[in-house]
Structure 1
Amino acid sequence: MSLPLFFALYCLEAGMFFTALPWTRLWTLNAVLHHNALIALWADNPYVRGFVSGLGVVHVMVGVRELVRLSRARRGSGAR
């Protein structure tokens, strides 16, 4: 039971990270993203930022779904 819980917590944490990261100074002032002019232009594109945030939202949704599934499975096995 610990591996599915770890997966759910990972999804929640990664989701929150990727949802917020593109809109912070860490993304804007990142030396790796702005080392090359083409990559910097791509990384500063609002659509790319929205895509990364969307992936974060999907991760959060998967994490919540897994936590609900684990909670229901635990309640179902405890009631018997």
Structure 2
Amino acid sequence: MIAAIEANTKKESVNAVFYIIKSDCQWRMRPKDFPPYSTVHSFCRPCRIKGVWGKVIIADLNMQNLAATFSEAFNQR
């Protein structure tokens, strides 16, 4: 049960980070639907230090490029 709660909190923390990046809002100005600032920040900071966010961004860009390639191939038929 605790592992499920921790996994849910991590998922919500990731969603909060993506929201902050996408909306360009300040950490403490995020909607109250997300976990507390301290929870999100304590999850985000080690990921930043380990380089996880850079890998996530690269993976996202690769997925976007792959989707664009498939879309172009499909539209050329």
Tell whether the structures are fold-level matches, with TM greater than 0.5. Answer: no
* Rg (Cα) greater in structure: 1
Higher RCO (C-alpha under 8 Å, 6+ residues apart): 1
Query: What's the TM-score once normalised by structure 1's chain length?
Result: 0.41
